[in-house]
Amino acid sequence: MSMSKNRMTYLDYNATTPLCDAAREAMLPYLDRYFGNPSSVHAAGRAARAAIDNARDKLAALLHVRPHEIIFTSGGTEACNLAVLGLVGRLSDRSSGGNHLISNKAEHHAVLNAIEYLEKRENFEVTWLNISEKGIIDLDQLAKAIRPETRLVSIMTGNNETGVIQPLREISHLCRERGVLLHSDMVQSFGKIDIDLSLVDAASFAAHKFYGPKGAGFLFLRSGLSLQPIMFGGAHENERRPGTENVAAIAGMAAAAEWALPDREAEQAREAHLRDALRSIWKVSVRRAAQLVWSARLLPLMFCSLWVCQSNARALPSDSR
């Protein structure tokens, strides 16, 4: 995106994307006229509730899942936390299962820190899978690591920094074979690659990565799985996530998804083309991470770092140094 007003070319779409017109239009009525609390039974509340139901139906249809399998959250971090902490439960609930988790250190902090919390504070044992030179987790190690006490495997679909796509089908196969729950952080993948939620038990999403508003996201949770809420409050989201819903942001998120998904293939091809063109003309400093990016199955994004020598750096605005 070129922001002519600021004379800035914005390339950091992994960090966040601008709001698309469809999302903005879908949000405006709920910031203005339809301001009711969706839990209120009167007309104003019912109008807000209808927006949430509608958004849930739209997202479910786009992802080929059931509406009640979608739990709205405040974004990707909360969705990941809810999956990891909510599916595993607390130490005191462990009578119902084991104390072993499997993940890897390349996860976003939203998953990484939640799992490290369970490891350090709740005495869970964690197998941290090795990652190959190409950024892929070790499937043989995963197969060997799964054991009767394993409660959850959490492996992201597409990496937010390298763009590496994990072999989710194979991971899913191993987990299913052994009856272990699988969560995947799909925050960077939605709108960029095909997503098949039949492969996972839970998956996390954030609207601002696909041209929706910040502060809105959702967790897909397979029907029949129980989840322990990680916050205490009302009975919102089928008693799985308390708190008055961010109605406007939820409406905007569904509109953004509807806008972004149908064009996904064309957009993926366009972005991959841009990435490859940049790659061929830029003299990117080829450090280990850059080599890794060029050699694996990738999201249509490019990881690069720019090193500016000290004297030139002084001429740059402070936010670019």
Ligand X SMILES: Cc1ncc(COP(=O)(O)O)c(C=O)c1O
Task: Write out the binding residues for ligand X, residues 159-178 only, by CB under 6 A.
Answer: 160
- In whole angstroms, the minimum distance from the beta carbon of 187 to ligand X comes to 4
Q: Does residue 81 belong to the site contacting ligand X (CB under 6 A)?
A: no
Of 162, 149, 63, 148, the closest CA to residue 104 belongs to 162
> How many positions of this chain bind ligand X (CB under 6 A)?
14
Q: Does residue 206 belong to the site contacting ligand X (CB under 6 A)?
A: yes
Q: Is 47 or 293 the residue whose CB approaches ligand X more closely?
A: 293
Q: What are phi and psi of 281, to 5 degrees?
A: -100, -20
Q: Is 75 or 252 the residue whose CB approaches ligand X more closely?
A: 75
Q: Is 56 or 108 the residue whose CB approaches ligand X more closely?
A: 108
Q: Which of these segments, 34-42, 62-70, 71-79, 97-105, binds ligand X (CB under 6 A)?
A: 71-79
Annotate each residue in 176-195 with x if it binds ligand X (CB under 6 A) or - if it does not, as one string.
---------x-xx-------
Annotate each residue in 106-135 with x if it binds ligand X (CB under 6 A) or - if it does not, as one string.
--x-x-------------------------
- One residue of 75, 86, 163, 191 binding ligand X per CB under 6 A: 75
- In whole angstroms, the minimum distance from the beta carbon of 313 to ligand X comes to 26
Q: Does residue 76 belong to the site contacting ligand X (CB under 6 A)?
A: yes
Annotate each residue in 214-253 with x if it binds ligand X (CB under 6 A) or - if it does not, as one string.
---x------------------------------------
Site residues (vs ligand X, CB under 6 A)? 75-77, 80, 108, 110, 156, 160, 185, 187-188, 206, 208, 217
